[in-house]
Structure 1
Amino acid sequence: MDVAEVLRERWDLKPLELEVLTGGMNSAAWLASTDEWRVVVKAVGPVDTAFEPGLELAARLDDAGIRTGRPRPSKHGRVVERVDGRQVAVLEYVDGVELSPADQAAIGDLLGRVHSAAALEAGELADWLQFLLPFEDCLDLEPWIRPAVEGAVADAVALGSVSWAWLHGDPAAEAFLRQADDSVALIDWGSAMRGPLLYDVASAVMYNGAPVVPAYLRRRPELADELERGLPTFLRVRYAVQAGYFAWRITNNILTGISTPAENLKGLTDARRSFGL
Structure 2
Amino acid sequence: MSVEKDSKKRLFIGLITGTCGLLCLFFAMLWYVPYVGLSSFGAWASWTLGLIVLALILTVGWAYAGLLANVVLGRTFPFSQKARGLTVKLFLPLMTILGRLFGLSKRKIRSSFIKVNNELVLSETGKYDPEKIMILTPHCLQNSRCDMRLTYDVDNCKRCGLCTIKGLLDLRDKYGSHFAVATGGTIARRLVVQKRPRLIIAIACERDLASGIQDTYPLPVFGVLNERPHGPCLDTEVSLLAVEEALRRFIKEDRLPEDADKNVAMTPITGL
Rg larger in structure: 2
- Answer 1 or 2: which has greater helix percent: 2
Q: TM-score range by the shorter chain?
A: under 0.3
Structure with the larger RCO, 1 or 2 (CA within 8 Å, 6+ apart): 1
